[in-house]
Amino acid sequence: IMENKQYFLCVHCNPYKYLKSFGEMKVHFNKRHTNLTSFSCGQCRNKFTLKSSLMRHIEYQHIKKESQTRADNNSSSSESTEDENLTVREARHIEIHIHKENESSTSSSDGEEMNDESDENNQDNEFNNDQGNQEGNEMEGHQATQDLDFQTEAAKFLLRLRAPGNMTNTSIQMIVENVSQLLKNIMLKAKEDTRTFLYSTEVPPNNTEEFLKGGSFSTDTIFEGLQSVDDQLEFFSRKFGLVIPEELYLNSRIENRFNSALRMFIATQVNETFQYVSLIETLKLILRNDFLRNLILSEKNSEDGVYRSYRDGTDFANNQFLRKYPHALRIVLYYDGLEISNALGSKDVIHSLGCFYFSIQNLPPEESSRLSSIFLLALCYAQDLKKPGAFATVLAKFVAELKLLLSDEGVELDLPNEEKFVLRACLCTLTADTLAAHEMLGFFSSSDANRFCRICMISKENLKESTTFIGTLRSSQQHEQHVQEVERRPAAASLFGVKERSILSQVMRVPEDTVFDVFHDMVGVTQMILKLVLYEFIMVQKFFSVSQFNENINSFVYGKPDIKNKPSATFTREKLSSKGHTLKQYGSQTFCLLRVFPFLIRGVDENNRYLQLVFLLQDILRIVFSFEVKASDVDRLQALLYEFGTKFHEIFILPGPVREADDNINNEVDEDENESGNEGEEEEEEEEGNGSDNDPDDPLLPNRRRRRVWKSRQLKKAINKMHHIMHYPDQIREKGPIIRLWCARYEGRHRLIRKHSAVQCNFKNPPKTMARMFQLSTLAAFLDRTSSHADNVTLSGGATVLVRYSPYRAQLMNEGLQEDSWIKTVECAQICGEEYQSGLFVILRQNNAVQPVFAIIVNVLADTSDPTRVFLVVNKCLNTTFCARYHAYRISNKYEETNLLVNVKDLANHRTIAPWNPLDHGNNMGIFLSPRTLSI
């Protein structure tokens, strides 16, 4: 029965492929999967570094054990039926096997493999001494001696050393030299042992020496051609398709450099260069991967009217090129600055890099969420990009390649065993923070321009009058007229907010094909609101002190899903009363603080207008951060934004016109409202010094010191980010969920460059060094792209039991498992970075549900034959109500007694939720659940 012989299943093919026999499986792997760096067993999903290790594992751990089990069953069938009287408890005692496993902390993108060296060593003797399968031994021996390319294996070894970015070139070179010497000594010892053995078997000496002179005992060619970085890049390019960065001319400058011959400084012309990675060659590399190509060609639109991807938006439907070629690759371009040296050092400016990345929207979310799905396009010095025309020079080749991909002819791509494939692509979206986007598109910086928005023609005066105001929308035709007018009359630049033509306008619509960055916008708005509200609660209304708020942050139980984003308890009265809107918290900490904020404050009524503003912002973030959004949710978001902007304007904005001195209020760098003096406070005369920033209730202060009277803070106008979020509903309708385009995932790619720069410490030409190391790390991750990211499941701890003895036997059999299948109860399962374990809550999928249907996880089960199938044993929550004070759902600790078995892939929301308890009510109010996103 083929379905029971999972070890004949090739999990590296897409879709999975069954092989008829062991011999056919060997031939299949030799032909189809020669370039893999890891091999997985279809039965138990164990991973192996070598193909020969996988074959020995299948033969001895599955085929022979299955034959032995069948023989034992046949011999026992004629015996007495005494065993049938065994109780279920005794049978469970026989069948259950407890396996202690070490908890794994590896990330899903690293692809760390099992250490199978001991398994290989233990099986070598068994393999060589087995006389029952001589033909299999001969085939394995031929495979090891003929099919195995030692130079390729050595190259993969070097690639694995370089990929993490933990070693310098000198260290790797030292390893190569020592490994070469070690292999040489091993082969010399093997050669002498072979000579002694052959002499003892009376083999003629001439034949013995002739055999030993062959190349079987030579290791000189293993690292041949792999000594230097250039040699390795050339080998990886020839063997695996690595795209080597190309150094291109950008500009030149004059520097005074020391001439050792003349012993003096002389003016020298220095060329400014940048590193460019070919877009077409990178796309070819992606499409040559069978797994990724099949995913791209199988992409479909949503059929239930839910926004899930770019294909569900109006921009895709109205794009003539994509309507003609629906499976053309959709490119997302990203740009940002990156500091690679110590920010406190003297070289923190000259070593800033400008990073251009791109990604492909055609991949499903679980694949595009990988950091290895973000590819390098160009790398240069950030200082060089400040010169006129620099962006056009850097992006010129990218635009030229994109024009070729936009043509009807496209680019032909030869694929193995298939007809020619025509490669086509278009630039559908540009994503970047506000400053970077305006630099690339030729707009004025939003902090300098009167027309600060690149989507509409709003002015600062309009923003002062109404936070919800949206000006006349810009169009590509109108933008072209503005550019022509600015080129003819430069003084008109300030009138339109446009300073120059962007080279990207040749391959995309400017500005319709740009999107606001959800990450930076929402961090700025959230920190501003929280700071203003905390100022009101602590400084003005004195509901609690700042020290009490810090204590609440430290003592609150966040739960496992949110503990890593716990806010920093560093609030002070000085920070709250200072100018600017930042809270000195990371983005993830800011969003966590917003969700937990109602639980941290005491003595505030739910109808407080400041707290109501926080609740509105929570509802907005739940929709904006959702990966699946209904059309009705977008309409609700539009209404929430209008209400939020209106209330914000009523509470915080001063009446009156904007003065010229207020033009720098919206500075995007420090987000300072630029208050003159100390607005928001009234200071009475003090008899001793200026100690009023201390706690006025401090008993150690002198009684004669007069206290400062704090007034509610008001701003002269909202920050620009408050206007940006007003465009979100339209951008979701056009481009689908904009959370899939936020800059946070691209900024995660910076970590690789920072890590390489910290280890390499090469500042002679950082763009060149970092670009090459980046490409090597990307290639290492790319070679393992043979299965879905969702299939990379990490299981921790637990016990394995037959389904027939599982307490969830009926539910498991309804899921297609057999009684003799093995199921594993695990302590924790990690899928796509989300951890599932008992005690956490999930949201079940239920049609026409008025509110989310919550359930508590009781157990986590995994199918041992297919570990990607993870099931949750849950109990549905009863008496769920929405609590207005905490803006969360209250659970009364009552659950249905019936256990439900739910596949993780069938959840309404893949995120787990930790139960929260208010600090001021103990457990008498039950527990509260605060979902981070919507549930479909």
DSSP 268-303: EEEEEEEEE--HHHHHHHHHTSHHHHHHHHT----S
Where residue 449 falls among pLDDT bands split at 50, 70, 90? confident
Percentage of the chain with pLDDT > 70? Answer: 82
The total number of residues written for the chain in this structure = 936
Rounded Cα distance between 912 and 860, Å, is 13
Where residue 788 falls among pLDDT bands split at 50, 70, 90? low
Where residue 557 falls among pLDDT bands split at 50, 70, 90? very high
Asked if residue 536 has pLDDT above 90, the reply is: yes
C-alpha distance across the termini of the chain, in Å: 39
* Mean pLDDT for the chain overall: 83
Greatest mean pLDDT range, 46-55, 355-364, 666-675: 355-364
What is the rounded average pLDDT of the residues 298-309? 91
Q: Which residues contact 122 (CB under 8 A, 6 or more apart)?
A: none
Judge contact between 486 and 451, C-beta under 8 A: no
Angle between helices 587-600 and 546-555 (to 10 degrees): 100
**Residue 357 β-bridge partners:** 334, 376
Query: Which one, of 65, 59, 62, 67, lies nearest residue 133 by Cα?
Result: 59
What is the rounded average pLDDT of the residues 16-26? 79
What is the rounded average pLDDT of the residues 373-402? 95
What is the rounded average pLDDT of the residues 267-284? 94
Q: DSSP letters along 748-810, please?
A: TTHHHHHHHHHHH---SSHHHHHHHHHHHHHHHHHTT-SS-GGG-EEEES-EEEEGGGSTTHH
Dihedral in degrees, nearest 10, Cα atoms 585, 588, 593, 599: -150
Give the DSSP letter of residue 657. P
What is the rounded average pLDDT of the residues 352-359? 96
What tens digit of pLDDT does each residue of 631-656 get?
A: 999 999 999 999 999 999 999 998 76
Asked if residue 558 has pLDDT above 90, the reply is: yes
Judge contact between 559 and 928, C-beta under 8 A: no
Greatest mean pLDDT range, 291-295, 302-306, 373-377: 373-377
Q: Which residues contact 153 (CB under 8 A, 6 or more apart)?
A: none
State whether residue 828 is helix, strand or coil.
strand
Strands (E), 447-519: 514-515
- Weakest-pLDDT range from 121-130, 166-175, 787-796: 121-130
Give pLDDT, residue 502: 96
Dig out the tokens for 19 from the structure.
């092989």
Q: Which amino acid is at 423?
A: L
Give pLDDT, residue 76: 53
- Weakest-pLDDT range from 60-69, 136-145, 780-789, 850-859: 136-145
**In a 10 Å sphere around its CB, with 0-12 CB exposed, 13-18 middle and 19+ buried, how is residue 492 labelled?**
middle
Dig out the tokens for 439 from the structure.
């630099």
What tens digit of pLDDT does each residue of 102-124 get?
A: 333 333 333 333 333 334 333 33
Give pLDDT, residue 685: 33
The 10 Å CB-count burial string (b at 16+, else e) for 724-742 is bbbbbbbbbbbbbbbbbbb
Give pLDDT, residue 348: 55
Please report, for residues 282, 422, 538, the alpha-carbon distance to residue 404 in angstroms, rounded to integers and kept in the order given: 15, 12, 60
**Residue 249 β-bridge partners:** 273
Give pLDDT, residue 90: 38
Judge contact between 653 and 718, C-beta under 8 A: yes
**In a 10 Å sphere around its CB, with 0-12 CB exposed, 13-18 middle and 19+ buried, how is residue 787 labelled?**
middle
Judge contact between 137 and 128, C-beta under 8 A: yes
Give pLDDT, residue 458: 96
What is the rounded average pLDDT of the residues 170-185? 89
Asked if residue 258 has pLDDT above 50, the reply is: yes
Give pLDDT, residue 678: 38
Where residue 710 falls among pLDDT bands split at 50, 70, 90? confident
Where residue 804 falls among pLDDT bands split at 50, 70, 90? very high
Rounded Cα distance between 429 and 329, Å, is 12
Give pLDDT, residue 73: 60
Q: Which fold has domain 792-929?
A: SH3 type barrels. (2.30.30)
**Residue 857 β-bridge partners:** 874
What is the rounded average pLDDT of the residues 510-538? 96
What is the rounded average pLDDT of the residues 229-252? 93
- Weakest-pLDDT range from 207-216, 373-382, 496-505, 655-664: 655-664
Element (H, E) at 359: strand 352-360
Q: Which amino acid is at 111?
A: G
Give pLDDT, residue 822: 92
What tens digit of pLDDT does each residue of 561-574 get?
A: 999 999 999 999 99
- Identify which has the larger pLDDT, 500 or 670: 500
Judge contact between 406 and 320, C-beta under 8 A: no
Where residue 130 falls among pLDDT bands split at 50, 70, 90? very low
The 10 Å CB-count burial string (b at 16+, else e) for 595-610 is bbbbbbbeebeeebeb
**In a 10 Å sphere around its CB, with 0-12 CB exposed, 13-18 middle and 19+ buried, how is residue 206 labelled?**
exposed
State whether residue 248 is helix, strand or coil.
strand
**Residue 47 β-bridge partners:** 40
Asked if residue 307 has pLDDT above 60, the reply is: yes
What is the rounded average pLDDT of the residues 913-932? 83
One-letter-per-residue 3-state SS of 683-715: CCCCCCCCCCCCCCCCCCCCCCCCCCEECCCCE
Give pLDDT, residue 61: 78
Domain ranges of the chain: 1-72+116-146, 149-240, 276-432+757-791, 518-675+697-727, 792-929
- Weakest-pLDDT range from 6-10, 184-188, 289-293, 798-802: 6-10
Judge contact between 152 and 89, C-beta under 8 A: no
C-beta atoms surrounding 659 within 10 Å: 11
* Residue owning tokens 């406070």: 681
Greatest mean pLDDT range, 62-66, 175-179, 235-239, 732-736: 732-736
Give the DSSP letter of residue 306. -
Judge contact between 649 and 467, C-beta under 8 A: yes
Q: Which residues contact 337 (CB under 8 A, 6 or more apart)?
A: 352, 353, 354, 355, 382, 436
Give pLDDT, residue 83: 45
Greatest mean pLDDT range, 164-178, 229-243, 284-298, 633-647: 633-647
Rounded Cα distance between 584 and 591, Å, is 13
Asked if residue 35 has pLDDT above 80, the reply is: no
What is the rounded average pLDDT of the residues 423-444? 95
Judge contact between 332 and 431, C-beta under 8 A: yes
Query: Which one, of 667, 649, 673, lies nearest residue 466 by Cα?
Result: 649
Asked if residue 688 has pLDDT above 70, the reply is: no
What is the rounded average pLDDT of the residues 488-513? 94
Element (H, E) at 531: helix 518-534
- Identify which has the larger pLDDT, 681 or 606: 606
Judge contact between 733 and 314, C-beta under 8 A: yes
Query: Which one, of 666, 319, 324, lies nearest residue 467 by Cα?
Result: 666
Rounded Cα distance between 602 and 597, Å, is 10
Please report, for residues 280, 460, 591, 896, the alpha-carbon distance to residue 586 in angstroms, rounded to integers and kept in the order given: 36, 29, 9, 39
Element (H, E) at 53: helix 51-58
Dihedral of CA 640/643/649/652: which sign?
negative
Give pLDDT, residue 71: 61
What tens digit of pLDDT does each residue of 140-166 get?
A: 444 444 456 788 889 999 999 988 888
Q: Which residues contact 59 (CB under 8 A, 6 or more apart)?
A: 22, 133, 136
- Identify which has the larger pLDDT, 101 or 853: 853
Where residue 346 falls among pLDDT bands split at 50, 70, 90? very low
Rounded Cα distance between 415 and 290, Å, is 9
Q: Which amino acid is at 453?
A: C
